[in-house]
Amino acid sequence: MRRPERKGKKKGPKPLNPNLPRVSEIVEDQDLGELIYPVTGKLMQVGFVETIEVLSRVPAQYHVRSISRNVYVSEAGEAPVYSPWPGDVLPRSRIDTGVIAHLLTGRFAYHQPYHRQQGQLARQGVDLAPNTMVSLVKQACEKL
């Protein structure tokens, strides 16, 4: 005898948002010595691939970009010629525009004072003084 169809909401986890980006990971295969079928002694073959989707989060990660460029000079060491730095780098402040965008978002979208942003950055291992943040936000506002 079959069970009657359940009415109402389905039980179990809701499907994950299909619009979220997917990052694929492949679990490494076992050692090939363990993949020999003991009855026949032959190597086992892949029958199917099993996949599970797990909601994950990567917290903000700060890192140092080390950017190098070649500087060409004459034999006498004069008249240097070089390519410009990438457009998303402010060479004098040594701060990437991604960090400045984060400061602007925290300040104007989330209304966070600079000392609170400083604490958040300190927990990530970044030492950035509030007066430096004020200066960066001022420069960004002038450019905008």
Model confidence over 85-133: pLDDT tens digits?
A: 777 766 677 788 888 889 999 999 999 999 999 999 889 888 888 998 9
Q: Is the distance from CB of 98 to CB of 106 less than 8 angstroms?
A: no
How far apart are alpha carbons 118 and 9 in whole angstroms?
Answer: 46
Instruction: Supply the pLDDT for residue 114.
Output: 96
Q: Is 136 helix (H, G, I), strand (E, B) or coil?
A: helix
The mean pLDDT of the chain is 81
Instruction: Supply the pLDDT for residue 106.
Output: 94
pLDDT band at 57 (very low <50, low <70, confident <90, very high): low
How far apart are alpha carbons 48 and 28 in whole angstroms?
Answer: 15
Packing angle of the helix pair 97-104, 130-143 (nearest 10 deg): 100
Can you read off the two tokens belonging to residue 136?
């960066």
Q: Is the distance from CB of 140 to CB of 100 less than 8 angstroms?
A: yes
Q: Is the distance from CB of 36 to CB of 44 less than 8 angstroms?
A: yes
Q: What is the pTM of this model?
A: 0.59
pLDDT surpassing 80 at residue 38: no
What are the extents of the domains in the chain?
A: 32-143
- The residue that leads in pLDDT, 50 or 107, is 107
How far apart are alpha carbons 25 and 15 in whole angstroms?
Answer: 19
H or E segment to which residue 81 belongs: strand 81-82
Instruction: Supply the pLDDT for residue 12.
Output: 67
